[in-house]
Structure 1
């Protein structure tokens, strides 16, 4: 609702009611983008485990910054629904159609926005299909594409590991797991990144992704294979073509976004964190341990929107009204003093972090993301064992976003080497990986690809350097 002079006024019953927008901190703007961790701690000091905040357009919500409070919301769908149609702001037409909140909050026929029996039907299909992947099969794809990416820059001696490695590897692997032809991968990398950045061409990129996946569904109905698209089509849940496309897009984009950040932040820690490197050199940390530490300190998604209160309720000392929106503060909850009184104490091996959410909506693809990140990083550091940061640590930069922070670059130097000879699979050319991103164009479905060959045995970087077997 607005006043005659166009100023937003909070509706009755919303978190901001009685406080005024000038008394509530915003999750957008200079303060939030420059120092989100500092903002979370201010909110914790001012309000406790649940804090009133403002989103784009000064729309009110609650940010859950406590670890225990986050778990309460995640595990109680009867009190905190995933159905965004319950949001008071939607019901009162306060959200503009061109609001940056719409792509992530507008209701869609996805398991992400469903509760109860419908959630179990849709989520069950996705989970069952993802569980059919085996770790060894995924490693073949990761090895294949990681080697191709590294071959593209190994002779130079310098590279930006975000722009030329982390931002490409997950999508290239995920297109294979979905069952898409090789040539889909590079274009989907560009389109997906464009969508996440919210550029002027984001809508066109989203349409490209949707069109490509609709083509894939149509193809897999007549030419099924051992892939996610085929398994979803065959599932007893009986997903419609629209449901199939939407869930393939959800898996593709969420797995890509979170895994890109996980790879980038883990590589950054390996190169910059003295505590981290000391543990490695002392032989006490395996790569899976390292990923756990990063998931505590730098979760791929800082927060997850949202949950909507189904009834008037109390949480963290705050009175939540039915229809209020809550944001799961994953990064804030992970540093809650109640569970981490000493942030310098290593937590590798401890997987009680909030990085993958929890409860019935816990991320179903977390094992896939971890496998891609772990294998890709291992291959990179095995082939380029003398990586060094090429700039001062304080010169690294992040792009601010209300849901996540993205490392914009990780320039490194290393001893130049030669590309690794690897013959293409019989009957199929190797996938092309573009050095520069180009605008995506829709291409017709191509012929099926052959299975990736098993990689030659390699010594793990962790084992070669520190004489340990991975755990």
Structure 2
């Protein structure tokens, strides 16, 4: 069996998925860290079948035969991702519905316009820090930083938590040797938050979870905050970086944008097809013996959803160069009852963050040859290491030269919408601050 970790997987995971597809078809036997056996689901239809059939393929990791046999101890690299905990991602049926409803309804208490305003605020703060230099690494200085600044604000956490939580979340999702310690740090920080919000509630996700009619325990609140933090951060970071890379390097992609044939939301959907922010998803566990794409899955077997592989399935995409405009049937956010609950939050952060960046800096250009860009591969994601760019530095008064930048804006606290209200669309651009779309097209055309 081929390993989903190590040199072959790290070099080019997408090529590895295609080799597995040729060798085994839509479902392939693989080895995970520690050489734990698993099944990688490669077919688009088969991914949806597994995701939508919890009666056969459960999220309850206590079914995992290897864990029952003591082969996945607490210090195993997979433990933070698979050790059962009392939260919705490990539940099915009524218990899953109860817990997930608490999460989705707590997140929905924050209107779209308010969230986008906070994304704009933090994006401006980040741009202020590097704009006078005329150069930046858009992974380290922008994509890596923006999502958790917004998420910690929604949670009601102090802003200084952001950088350390960013590092810990990246390390945990990577499944490294220090993943357990990083998981412990996140757990401790969130427990402190829950304790404070239990004593002094406010207008934030933590308080809304605590007061929800589902009556979550402190442990349940803490663990669901961790799920939102990790699941909303890493994919959003990758989606920002991948979209910016395409804008800066792909001539066909750039021309489609500049010609008005694709909007930014369309562009995001294309990236979600071609470079989903999470390549795989752990995991599902067989509730009994089952057949899947001609393979016999034994009771207690672990399955990984192959999100990137499913998106590239030749059965649904025989020609991968064909644009997928308006098609949201990709697997980037998984599917079924466990489909990512934070996808709308992620889209708002990416859309608004990129819009703000390219409005401020419409003359962005890649500072190194494209072939110099590199990726860091983990079990569940493929991450752009850096994205060095150059642009004309601007003064704080709006001119070019050192000291550039539009001033950061201070915003009032997020407002809770009235119960009957619906999410509002992003505000229309003002005449003073045109959409990045207009600025970017003018720059591409040399105006």
TM-score normalised per structure 2:
0.90
Deviation at 1:206, TM superposition (A): 3.2
Deviation at 1:202, TM superposition (A): 4.7
* 8 Å Cα contact 2:187-2:226 kept in structure 1: yes
Q: Which runs of 5+ in 1 are unaligned?
A: 1-23, 426-449
Deviations 1:232-255 (A, max 9, x none): 111111111111111111101110
Match of 2:76 among 99, 106, 114: 99
Deviations 1:319-366 (A, max 9, x none): 111111110000000000011010000012110000000100000000
Deviations 1:277-301 (A, max 9, x none): 1211221010000100000011111
Taking the TM superposition and a 5 Å limit, the aligned residue runs for 1:45-444 are 45-197=22-174, 202-417=179-394, 418-422=404-408, 424=410
Deviations 1:392-435 (A, max 9, x none): 1111101111111110000011111112223646xxxxxxxxxx
Deviation at 1:54, TM superposition (A): 1.1
Please say which of residues 56-65 and 187-196 is displaced more in the overlay: 187-196
CA–CA distance in structure 1, aligned partners of residues 46 and 253 of structure 2: 29
* 8 Å Cα contact 2:79-2:180 kept in structure 1: no
Deviation at 1:198, TM superposition (A): 5.3
Do structure 1's residue 37 and structure 2's residue 14 form an aligned pair?
yes
Alignment correspondent of 2:436: 461
- Give the 3-state SS of the residue equivalent to 1:152 in structure 2: helix
CA–CA distance in structure 1, aligned partners of residues 348 and 440 of structure 2: 21
CA–CA distance in structure 1, aligned partners of residues 27 and 175 of structure 2: 29
- Give the 3-state SS of the residue equivalent to 2:233 in structure 1: helix
Alignment correspondent of 1:4: none
- Give the 3-state SS of the residue equivalent to 1:154 in structure 2: helix
CA–CA distance in structure 1, aligned partners of residues 25 and 74 of structure 2: 33
Query: For the structure 1 residues 198 and 344, does the alpha-carbon distance in structure 2 shift closer, same or farther, using more than 3 Å as the test?
Result: same
CA–CA distance in structure 2, aligned partners of residues 321 and 194 of structure 1: 31
Please say which of residues 46-55 and 92-101 is displaced more in the overlay: 92-101
Aligned CA RMSD, in angstroms, stands at: 1.9
- Give the 3-state SS of the residue equivalent to 1:385 in structure 2: coil
Alignment correspondent of 2:422: none
TM-score normalised per structure 1:
0.85
Deviation at 1:59, TM superposition (A): 1.5
Q: Which runs of 5+ in 2 are unaligned?
A: 395-403, 416-425, 443-447
CA–CA distance in structure 2, aligned partners of residues 194 and 340 of structure 1: 33
